[in-house]
Chain A
Amino acid sequence: MKKFAVVAAMATALLGSTAVHAADVEVIHWWTSGGEQAAVSVFAREFDALGEDKWVDTAIAGGENARAATLQRILGGDAPGAAQFNPGRQYEELISGGMLLDLTPLAEKEGWADFIRPASISEACLVDGHWWCVPVNIHSWNWAWASMPAFEKAGVELPTSFDDFLTKAPKLKEAGVIPFAIGGESWQINGAFGVIQTAMLGLADREKILKDKDLELAKSKMADVFTKFREFKQFSDEGSANRNWNDTTNLVVTDQAAMQIMGDWARGEFGVAGEVAGTDYACLALPVEHPTVSTGGDIFLFPKQSDPAVEEAQLKMASMMVNPQVQALFNNAKGSMPIRDDVDMSLADDCMKKGLEIIKDPANIAVDAGRWLSNDTTGQMNDLVAQFWADDSMTVDAAVEQYVNILQTAE
């Protein structure tokens, strides 16, 4: 990378040009699987096509690993040109420490605030009136994936609510189907818990508890959520402990299980297996009575660089990422929703089209809890929910007490 920059500098010197030389921008990300690789290639190709600057790819699998490498390299003075993160509060200190490139002039020129929607997505990057990162896509957790043949086998219709599902589950079980497929990893359990919580509390109360930390409300409402959540456990299978999410999805794909609560990335598994939405499987936007979309996703932030040429290239990259054509190509490849409305998603499958319809109404947006809670607080909640799920001797009261305690000490 340095070598290239030197060569480029020499070339410009020889040409006697005063223009800033071309630069390499190293990008750290954790998109390493097939579909993800196709998606990141869209960015890289489009960036390379812009001019002399080059996308230098550093893929490190596993979000934790990639983020840790980024932070450690920033600390060591070897910061990458761009780095993937999840929207949240993890990079707050990078902003306050002045380690990130301020994208505000670019964002104002291009009017990002006008087209990036929903608001909770732009808020992830817009802090105190300054833009510090670029949101590139939206992934929603609020989906359930159901096997149509499994429900047919048990002679029941698709569920119309969580309660409805719980009344039908015994019949599914009798028919030899696993009613509720879940993998025992804590993030899977927590994802499902979050969706059930959203369904039972409604968006307004959920926001009061998670954003405003309304402890009284949490005390009165969370007991029901924990109780309901525990009811699902009897309908999961013996092998659920430690199972990967996609092995779990495979149970639904092969009609051994009836339903799984999992984010929209699960769709890819059905696609690979050649299943067709509507006949082989159904995607249910949750809660079924009033479908919502949660606003997880990915962002890129741009650590400050000493070389002005790199900085210029960073701004070009940021601009490229929100470009409507690039957004269309990228999100179609990734299987996620674009961060703006004016994007051609005609290639999207029925499930995604459903999601795009839901996201149009701001009233349907379940803001990602990571916007309000630090990773530390979320982590404590994850521990609690996973423990509650696995340990039947833990009472609902004890769980609620701990939950309230975590909220109370949250920053």
Chain B
Amino acid sequence: MSQKILTLAGIIITASILPVTSAQAAGECATGKTLEEGVLTIATGNPAYFPWVIDNEPAGGKGFEAAVAYAVAAQMGFEAEKVEWTSSSFDQAIQPGQKNFDFNLQQFSITEDREKIVDFSIPYYTSALAVIVRQPTIDAGVQPTLESLKSLTWGADANTTATPVIQELIAPESDPLLYDDTINVIEAMNANQIDATLLDLPVALYQAGAVMNDGVVLGQFAADESTSPDHFGLLMEEGNPIKACVDAALTALIDSGELAQIEAQWLQQATDVPMIR
């Protein structure tokens, strides 16, 4: 009996000590490497969009990227109240000089060229790219095949890696039109100026389902099949020593399956979107 109690007590003690020690160890990793001691400053876009951040309030922890940010912070040993949010545009994220964040997440695709200017963590998400069109285009007989996609007029967000993918993978007959953001791309589609665009699958599902009147996700390029898979990474200042801690935290989240859980919770799983051949 007494031994049982002892064992039980031992389990409780180890159970309560373990997370504390691992968190402390991780917390130590970031010591002296954050902008403000003891606080982790994270940046995202303003506005930040569904399903990455819900209601443009990253501090609410709702939405895929907000949840990932808090999970990484916790893994690094920062409690939720020690996380500060700030906003940054893409351009602010890549400008030379002092950054106002420890890391920045807003669906930054990791590319070799960008790596020369900033640092990226290991990927926290790999997105399939999806083709979105309007019902009239479907009625006109477009198919989810590369051949069929070539004859469409394409549009894309100029600030994303969708542009080279359209040009290299689909190689449409006419040059794509480019816009400042996804909202403008959708607007151009509504104005019948473009037929199709390429979006990250979760965004495509949201746009077609909740924003457009007659939007349809025509098909997807599998994340691993695509010639340029869209790996999202946390962006950090070039040479920021915190990268090692962030990578370690992400690795732990991937190994424990927590990252997959967050993904399942916030990103709609598309089972019925056909693959484009």
Q: Do A and B bind each other?
A: no
